[in-house]
Structure 1
Amino acid sequence: MNKNYEILAPAGSFEALQAAVQNGADAVYLSGKDFGARKFANNFTDEELREAIKYCHIRDVEVYVTVNTLVLNHEFERLRRYIDFLYIIGVDAVIVQDMGVLDYIRKTYSDLEIHCSTQMSVQTVEDIKYLESLGVSRVVLGREMTIEDIRRAQKETSVQLEVFVHGALCISVSGQCLMSSMIGGRSGNRGSCAQPCRQKYTLYNTAKKEKYESVKGNYLLSPKDLYTLDEIKTVIEAGAFSLKIEGRMKRPEYVATVVRAYRLMLEENKAVDVPALEKELKIFNRGFTKGHLLKESGSKLMSMFTPANQGYYLGKVVKYDQKRRKATLSLAADLNHNDEIQIRRKDETIGGRVEKLEHKGKVVKKCPKGQVCEVNFKHVCNAGEEVYKTYDEEFMKLSRQTFGGETLEIPVSIEITIKRGTNIVASLSDGKNSVTEETDIIPQEAMKRAITFEDVKNQLAKLGGSPYRLENIEVDLDEGLSVPLKEINAIRRSLIEKLDFKRSVKYSRKSKQPKADGRINRQKEARKIELTYSAGNVSQLAKLIELGATIIYYKDLETLEAAVQSAKKRGFKGKIIPEIFRLTSDDDLIRYKSLLRKLELDTVLIQSYGHINAFAGLEVIADYNLNVVNDLAYNFYLHNNFARVSLSPELNLSQISAMNIVPDKTEILGYGYLPVMVMKHCVISTTLNKHKNCGLCLQDSYSIIDKMNESFKIIRRYQCGTEIHNSKKLMLLEYLRTLESEGVGYFRLNFVDETPDEIELVVDLHRKYFPSKLTPQEHKLIDKLKKTGMTSGHLSRGIS
């Protein structure tokens, strides 16, 4: 590809794939039936994958297959067969999330391109640099990264940068959202997200016990859809190569419309009616935002009024006839029979399909803007209410026409020789590929009418239904010969089939005997489990030191120096390990490393791939959010000299048991609030109409409450980023002995906002549980704690 960009389109079905290709996509991304992060899209069977690759490659479109879920140990044999299948049938790249999968493909298929999924949570240039060092060819940037981040990455790395430019947004950092998983067992990291971000929530001040009604709506975690059409050239100039459109769950008409709009916008020397294109795109939208990419935040980022498609403004209600169930509308845009309309209110959204459309008492198929019409509408509405169109029947029909047939035109040249006494020979070329048809047909002398140049040209030029357009033809024809036209047609068909085949086969690949999968069979060993502790502030640290803690993780790096000084004054001889937050910027990574040197700290707890290089020279521990769920990923970190690895909280006990882990190298989060969302967004300031750095979270504590009256804490982190914590605390106290016997060596107590007394209680219970020194009263206390909102998380259930 010679262009400096690529339009990358989603294909959740074969029809969506055709819509993308016929409207100008340079590449598509899709999934087989397994290992894709959109489990509920139609997706492709193995045979459909073969056909998809053939269809796309004939038309110069690349195919990237998502293998971007976390993979459990027992699935690896199936995964290896699947990767080998994808390799043989000629996919252009695979998109991965799991570090174990990435490492396996890199070592086994050196000539297969690897794209790092957005699920790998890339947030910094350091993340990109590290992944590039592993041999990947492309990195999909997290949606939190900005134009400035792209410019810096383009200067400092050589890997291709893929950037989301249009479609639905996740409010949480992709790959770091456990909310669906923890609430209902449907893991986003396994392709089954239930989208809890699109549900209603109420902001609650836990200190003052006050609920706040939002005038903007109650969908506090629901972002608008990304839209960069008018800024797309800026995105390319910044260094983005692949312009990614979200939407594998969307209908083919959506794919066609969005791809066409961005293609038109990027075609040179063509005047583009941007408002008209934007109106077309608005038939599929939750409201539009330019996102973090172009630094929109707060209410500009969020669609708090409704999480559904908003369509565009249609007009107003003039009156409503309740007896006839008819709404009279004054139109600001055209309305068609079978369109869908909607009225939005503070507490509800009502709507329906226009099954009967009337103008001046006559049933019509269409009412132009400016007219007053009547529509059937079963919901009572009021004069003056605004009406929106959320489905446009006429537009959908026009959209379907763009991919119902073949619209592409690849220029080709044909040469044919029809000579007396010799076999007919023909060739077809696209300028790069040439094919020849050497027939056994010998022309006969014409008895009545001889075949002419025009006859031959007309038959060979019938390329309709194929993606080819005849640009040039050369016919070497002796006069006075007769050839049946059906033979010329057969020659044309054979040439097209041969050229199709030649264009479709881009690679000559054979099955590679899968190498050892990287799993190491170790003798299961157990040693006494050791407690580690995580403190959020200096006072919590002081309490843990008082209680005799020896390994303490520390969250707030802005108060780290004060924490270390406080520890020294208390004669602390243990280890303080800074926790490097996953959204830390490139510049602050440099600043923090300098601070650690100054404080003579030698170990860090890392949450992102870029932290590995950024803190080179220090001992590193992998935090749980690096999503380690299998032996290959686990061994990757051990081979890269990690001091220890924290396992994913999505694993259950049997899955941990199936892993070959080493106690000295293995940690688990055993107590405390688990972050289920990590956001570059503040729910508090947006809901209360404040601005960044408003400081409200420093004055009081806040949470969001769902429809089940469950309360999820909001915790302020680095630079007004926030974590949403699970409504229930994780407590694996009663699994301590079992985890120890399965090879877990470290058990972390994660303190967030607990008081010193609460910390002492929790630490005391865990220390006494192991040697069975708990009194009957303390056993009752554990039972009481469990009833106040504790959970064993996935340890007893896991992810499917």
Structure 2
Amino acid sequence: MDKKYELLAPAGSFESLKAAVQNGADAVYLGGKNFGARKFAQNFDNSQLIQAIEYCHIRGVKVFVTLNTLVLNNEFDKLKEYIDFLYTSGVDALIVQDIGVLTYVREIYPDFKIHCSTQMSVQTVEDIKYLESLGVSRVVLGREMTIEDIKRAKRETGVELEVFIHGALCISISGQCLMSSFIGGRSGNRGSCAQPCRQKYILYNVDKNEKYPSAKGDYLLSPKDLWTIEEMQKIIDAGVYSLKIEGRMKSPEYVAATVRVYNKVLRQIGGDLDLENLEKELKVFNRGFTKGHLFGETGSKLMSMLSPGNQGYYLGKVVKYDRKREKLTLFLEEDLNQNDELQIPRKEGSVGGRVEKLELEGKVVKNCSKGQVCTVNFKHYCKPGELVFKTYDEKRMKELRETFANENVEIPVSIEISIKKDREIISMITDGNHTVEFSTGIIPEPAINKELTEEDIQKGLGKTGGTPYKLVNLKVDLDPCLSLPMKEINGIRRELLERLSEKRKNKYQRESKLKLGLTLNREKTKKENDGKNGGLKLTFSINNLEGLKALIEMGVDALYYRDLETLGKGIALGKELGFKGKIIPEIFKTVTDKELKKYKAMIKALDLDTVLIQSYGHISFFEEFNLIADFTLNIVNDYSYNFYLDNNFNRITLSPELNLTGISKMDLDRNKTEILGYGYIPVMTTKHCVISTVLEKGKNCQMCRERMGLLDKIGEIFPIEKKYNCITEIYNSKKILLIEDWKKLVKAGIGYFRLNFLDESPREIKKIVLLHQRFIKGQMEEEDISTLQKLKKAGFTKGHLNRGIE
């Protein structure tokens, strides 16, 4: 009988893979040396990957390989070879982010299962429905979705649903975080995230020039670790099939601990759980625990603002500290061993160290027990009463390593053996799904001294230790008065098990598609991009009525409007001012399914025919409208670009992570291609509100009406803007400014250049529009030169135009 769920574990190395399998994982996810969102894990080269697949399949564990990064054009040939290798090697499914990769795999490898990565930013049931229509078998849900969202997804879709149940959380919607990319060129969409969310920030009021220090700590973007042990029944009942543990960058011991604990919990669903001890088993790896957005935890329940690192578990209190000898005396609430690691959390920065020398009543010891007062080496001054935590437990680590040092998997097998006089011995083994028959070529001898018994056969064939098999049923057809050396019986056992393993590991018989020369066929679309054909058209994006009015008064043609709550007033304002251009509503990526219906009805009633979309679910939901793809759809290669062309999109906005060389190598239709050319770019989209958490306000506190930002350690300010339902966007600290490179961009295939306004005054908007219009025409005036100089002096960036991303 098939299980109702799958426990899915991370495998960043072969040791971690063994830890997962030996502790009861049903499936593992892992990455190769390229194309995975954990570039700095050990990962697997091709030969290691084959070994991993065989190891897992023999033991009945599935293997999913991550291709969950954006793929540039110049990487696609290498990617195609890798996909073909994974296909023929027997991988169970691919985990994919890039819509171009998805469409390529779906067409060339129709029987290869595709799982949509959390990097695809799935936030609504409409997203799931659309991805299901593309032929995927599973969708990994965004961590922002709630248990109620999942219930609806289960009712209305037929794909498998995968949800993170444990581990580190991204504060931003996965796939929508550009912060690491824009700060240092290390892109989270390319597996190289530098984790700027784990740095210190101060909430800053731009209008009042005031700092708001947080009493809870300065790591304002650092979430706690997810843990859902006591909610397993609810998660499974909601319709989740795959229960995913995060942690490809974590140690094998972490993998062993988490898989072991969740396995224990799943086996005991419906019974009494010892939550205190289960939590303690995992607390040596944690930043504090939260149930996350999945169960509606927000604010300080969600965030680990005091420290971004491992917090361990409570060990005891400081009794005294000897500065001269650098000795810490503490009262133990838990056992302590030599080589354990301690930490004392402090707002100004936690301090810690390894227990190299442990003393009890003046004697050096290896361990001390709960309730005792002991002394340890500790170079940081501490005060009596301070709380001490254990962040590394030597004894526990040793116990965890032992869980995967030997074979713990037990696959029940049945063996039949026929040992008849003057006949070749015939044997058979089955695991219930695979059957192997073996004609041994051995003929038994007549017994001289000792007659072969069924007990002898049972003893020889039952020696399955060190293998993943356990003999549970043996059927023997044995003639009397025969003899057979035990080494022959042992040899038969080994041969049966090896042959069964061969069958189990070769789960799929797949032939290479590359050798057949299969490829996607479509017409080339590229125009002569010499900079003369069509020039450059400006588009404009605004989030308020004052800015809208300023743009209308400038006589612009195409205008994106970001505040759907005031869209009706904006349309009325346009009519009043005689606006002849087009106002295009932006459909924000996290708008709920309920809100989508409301906004669609409103847009229809306003007689608008075009929308700017940011999410996959919007494609089918707004199919009767003219569609423009926004940069949030992460379009960086011809395959993803052509996906939108083939779906008749009016325009396609390329990812701001592309550089000029990458754009130039794409096969673009200038009349349908847009980039962001000016303004603040959102680098995070988060369901967590930094403002209300720091200021200890509830939801809809309205504090975001004032201009707020995050101040980092070097004085950069990252503006914050409220979106729908207190979703917030955090913007890059510097505006992008590409006007001086417009000719190069046109030559590369760009036809539309978006000016993205955030907090500029109507007067500033008009100056910036004039600057761009006149620069393109080569009619710069003194006023425009002054505007350009002011923009540069205030600080600007060309983003990735010249440098590219890792």
Sort the TM-score into its range (normalised by shorter chain): over 0.9
- Are 1:73 and 1:658, in contact at CA under 8 Å, matched by a contact in 2? yes
**Are 1:566 and 2:573 an aligned pair?**
yes
Q: For the structure 1 residues 518 and 304, does the alpha-carbon distance in structure 2 shift closer, same or farther, using more than 3 Å as the test?
A: farther
What is the aligned partner in structure 2 of residue 301 from structure 1? 302
Match of 1:352 in 2: 353
Corresponding residue pairs, total: 799
1:758 match: 764
Alpha-carbon contact 1:336-1:392 (below 8 Å) kept? yes
Cα deviation code 1:645-702 (max 9, x no counterpart): 000000011110111111111111100000000011111110111111111111x211
Q: Where does residue 725 of structure 1 map in the other structure?
A: 731
**Is the 8 Å Cα contact of residues 518 and 635 (structure 1) preserved in structure 2?**
no
CA-CA distance at 1:447 after TM superposition:
3.1
Q: Which amino acid aligns with 1:452?
A: T
Note the alpha carbon deviations across 1:250-305, whole angstroms, 9 max, x for none.
00111111111111111147653221111111111000011000000111110000
> Is the CA contact 1:80–1:514 (under 8 Å) kept in the aligned structure 2?
no
1:445 and 2:440 aligned: no
Which runs of structure 2 are paired with 1:371-410 in the superposition (5 Å)?
371-410=372-411
Give the direction of change, closer, same or farther, for the CA distance of 1:519–1:791 in structure 2 (3 Å limit).
farther
Q: How does 1:644-723 map to 2 (within 5 A)?
A: 644-698=651-705, 700-723=706-729
The CA distance in 2 between the partners of 1:261 and 1:187, in whole Å, is: 33
1:769 maps onto 2:747 in alignment? no
RMSD between superposed Cα atoms in Å: 1.2
- Contact 1:517–1:632 (CA under 8 A) maintained in structure 2: no
Instruction: Give the partner amino acid of 2:58.
Output: I
Query: Could you tell me how far 1:785 is from its partner in structure 2?
Result: 2.0
2:745 counterpart (711, 714, 739): 739
1:576 alignment partner in structure 2:
583
Letter in 2 for 1:485: M
Quote the Cα distance in structure 2 between the aligned partners of 1:751 and 1:271. 56
String of CA shifts for 1:337-393, please: whole Å, max 9, x gaps. 111111111202111111111111222222111111111111111111100000111
Is it true that 1:522 corresponds to 2:529 in the alignment? no
What is the one-letter code of the residue matched to 1:180? S
Are residues 1:510 and 2:517 paired?
A: no
Q: Who is 1:369 aligned against? A: 370
Amino acid aligned to 2:134? L
Q: CA deviation at 1:475?
A: 2.2
Question: How far, CA to CA, are the matches of 1:713 and 1:194 in structure 2?
Answer: 20
Residue 777 of structure 2: SS of its match in structure 1?
Answer: coil
Which whole-Å CA distance do the structure 2 matches of 1:669 and 1:786 have between them? 17
Task: Determine the structure 1 residue equivalent to 2:221.
Answer: 221
Match of 1:47 in 2: 47
**Counterparts in 2 of 1:502 and 1:624: CA distance versus 1, 3 Å:** same
Structure 2 letter corresponding to 1:327 = L
Q: For 2:206 and 2:643, how far apart are their aligned partners in 1?
A: 42
| Counterpart amino acid of residue 791 in structure 1 | T
Q: Is the 8 A contact 1:603 1:620 kept in 2?
A: yes
How do 1:126-205 and structure 2 match up within 5 A? 126-205=126-205
Distance between the aligned counterparts of 1:750 and 1:383, measured in 2?
A: 55
5+ residue gaps, structure 1: none
Q: Quickly say closer, same or farther: Cα 1:363–1:514, change in 2 above 3 A.
A: farther
Counterpart position of 1:109? 109
The superposition leaves residues 301-333 of structure 1 with CA deviations (integer Å, 9 ceiling, x where unpaired) of 100000000011100010111222111110111
8 Å Cα contact 1:712-1:727 kept in structure 2: yes
| Alignment partner, residue 235 of structure 1 | 235
* Change in CA separation of 1:272 and 1:335 when aligned onto 2, cut-off 3 Å: same
Distance 2:443 2:598 in 1: 81
Equivalent residue runs for 1:314-333 within 5 Å: 314-333=315-334
TM-score, with normalisation over the residues of structure 2? 0.98
The C-alpha deviation readout for 1:120-174, integer Å capped at 9, x for no partner, is 0000000000000000000000000000100110111111110111100000000
- Alpha-carbon distance, 1:61 to partner: 0.9
Q: Is 1:793 equivalent to 2:799 in the alignment? A: yes
Query: What amino acid does structure 2 have at the position aligned with 1:571?
Result: G
- Cα distance in 1 for residues equivalent to 2:212 and 2:790: 31
Q: Report the equivalent of 1:537.
A: 544
Give the Å deviation of 1:241.
Answer: 0.8
Matched with 1:547 is 554
1:607 matches 2:614: yes
Please report how far the alpha carbon of residue 522 of structure 1 lies from its aligned counterpart in structure 2 after TM superposition.
3.2
The residue aligned with 1:430 is 431
Q: Is the 8 A contact 1:520 1:660 kept in 2?
A: no
Measure the CA separation in 2 of the matches of 1:615 and 1:521. Answer: 27
Shift of 1:514: 4.8
**Secondary structure at 1:798's aligned position in 2?**
coil
Determine if contact 2:107/2:520 at 8 Å carries over to the other structure.
Answer: no
Deviations 1:780-800 (A, max 9, x none): 542442232111100111113
1:123 corresponds to which letter in structure 2? Q
SS in structure 1 at match of 2:36: coil
Q: d(CA) in 2 for partners of 1:514 and 1:66?
A: 25
Higher mean alpha-carbon deviation, 97-106 vs 775-784, is at 775-784
Tell me, yes or no, if the aligned pair for 2:527 and 2:670 is still in contact at 8 Å. no
Kept after mapping to 2: 8 A contact 1:524/1:742: no
Pairwise CA distance, 1:515: 2.5
Instruction: Determine if the alignment matches structure 1 residue 643 to structure 2 residue 650.
Output: yes
- Name the counterpart of 1:257: 257
SS in structure 2 at match of 1:616: coil
Instruction: Describe the SS at the equivalent of 1:307.
Output: coil
Write the letter of the residue equivalent to 1:576: I
- Give unpaired runs (5+ residues) of structure 2: none
Amino acid at match of 2:472: E
Contact 2:526 2:669 in 1 (8 A): no
How many percent of aligned residue pairs carry the same amino acid? 62
In structure 1, the partner of 2:474 is 473
Looking at structure 2, the residues matched to 16 and 728 of structure 1 have their Cα atoms a distance apart, in angstroms, of 41
Q: Which moved more, 1:335-344 or 1:451-460?
A: 451-460
DSSP-derived class of the 1:494 partner:
helix
Contact kept in structure 1, 2:739 and 2:772, CA below 8 Å:
yes
1:770 match: secondary structure: helix
Partner of 2:342: 341
Amino acid at match of 2:606: L
Matching residue of 1:280: 281
- Asked whether the equivalents of residues 526 and 668 of structure 2 are also in contact (C-alpha less than 8 Å), the reply is no
Say whether the 8 Å CA contact 1:527–1:743 is kept in structure 2.
no
Q: In the aligned structure 2, how far is the partner of 1:533 from the partner of 1:487?
A: 82
> Cα offset for 1:480?
2.6
Q: With the length of structure 1 as denominator, give the TM-score of the two structures.
A: 0.98
Corresponding residue of 1:36: 36
Is residue 118–residue 142 contact of structure 2 (8 Å, CA) maintained in 1? yes
